[in-house]
């Protein structure tokens, strides 16, 4: 524990192995408080439901871990299309029905794909450099396991990409916001 206050507590965690440092994280948990005003970035009305759209990535394409998810493109450019507007909205869920709810499961859904792949024209190796996640609900749930992810790349230069994300459940309730910095290898 790093800090305990009246309204929140912050923890630090390290994951290391014999090969060296793996990752580390800072986690802050806060109590719910009443506010006079509330607001939320609205979910855009989409013409595509998860059952209507085309798969973003064929089931057996890409890295092995991508085969664990169904991803349906709702709006935005195709991957490897060389787009000048890498702003993508996709429906996403785990193939395993036992992984349709929960914080860890939702974080796994948002890890791929980075929208930098819509601005590129050839497949490159990618790796997360850092990731800031703001959970907006204590218990993220949705209908049928589907979450709507909007991810937009704001900067691609010198082998790196910066993107931001918003995630909603099927009822339009915002679940989380993220900012991620990604290394792009050619």
What distance in Å separates the CA atoms of residue 164 and residue 114, rounded to the nearest whole number?
10
pLDDT exceeding 90 applies to what percent of the chain? Answer: 25
- Give the DSSP letter string of 123-171: --EEEEEEEEEEE-SSS---STT-EEEEEEEEEEETTEEEEEEEEEETT
**Nearest of 34, 12, 33 to residue 23 by alpha carbon:** 12
In this prediction, residues 8-17 reach a mean pLDDT of 90
Average pLDDT in the chain: 84
Check pLDDT > 70 for residue 45.
no
What digits encode the pLDDT tens for the residues 77-105?
A: 888 889 999 999 899 999 898 888 888 88
In total, the chain counts a number of residues equal to 186
159 or 63, greater pLDDT: 159
In this prediction, residues 135-147 reach a mean pLDDT of 89
Through-space distance between the first and last CA atoms of the chain, rounded to whole angstroms: 40
Element (H, E) at 119: helix 116-119
Query: Who's near 47: CB < 8 A, 6+ residues apart?
Result: 74
Check pLDDT > 80 for residue 58.
no
* pLDDT at residue number 59: 45
The answer to whether 123 and 184 are in contact (CB under 8 A) is no
Check pLDDT > 80 for residue 148.
yes
- Which CATH superfamily includes the segment(s) 48-185? Acyl-CoA thioesterase, double hotdog domain (2.40.160.210)
Check pLDDT > 60 for residue 24.
yes
Check pLDDT > 60 for residue 70.
yes
The answer to whether 111 and 156 are in contact (CB under 8 A) is no
| Domain ranges, ordered by start, for the chain | 1-31, 48-185
**Nearest of 65, 169, 145, 73 to residue 112 by alpha carbon:** 65
Read off the pLDDT band of 53 (50, 70, 90): low
Within 10 angstroms of residue 43's Cβ, the number of other Cβ atoms is 17
What distance in Å separates the CA atoms of residue 24 and residue 7, rounded to the nearest whole number?
24
């Amino acid at each position: 524990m790093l800090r305990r206050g009246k309204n929140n507590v912050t923890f630090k965690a390290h994951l290391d192995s014999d090969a060296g440092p793996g990752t580390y994280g800072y986690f802050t948990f806060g109590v719910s408080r009443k506010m006079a005003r509330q607001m939320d970035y609205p979910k855009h009305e989409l013409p595509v439901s998860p059952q209507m759209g085309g798969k973003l990535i064929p089931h057996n394409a890409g890295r092995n871990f991508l085969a664990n998810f169904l991803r349906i493109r709702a709006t935005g450019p195709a991957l490897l299309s060389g787009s000048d507007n890498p702003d993508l909205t996709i429906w996403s869920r785990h193939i395993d029905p036992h992984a349709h709810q929960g914080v860890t499961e939702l974080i796994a859904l948002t890890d791929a794909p980075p929208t930098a792949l819509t601005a590129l024209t050839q497949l490159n190796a990618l790796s997360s450099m850092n990731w800031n996640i703001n959970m907006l609900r204590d218990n993220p749930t949705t209908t049928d396991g589907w979450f709507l992810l909007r991810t937009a790349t704001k900067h691609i230069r010198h082998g790196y990409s910066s993107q931001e994300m918003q995630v909603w459940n099927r009822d339009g309730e915002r679940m989380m916001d993220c900012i991620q910095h990604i290394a792009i290898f050619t």
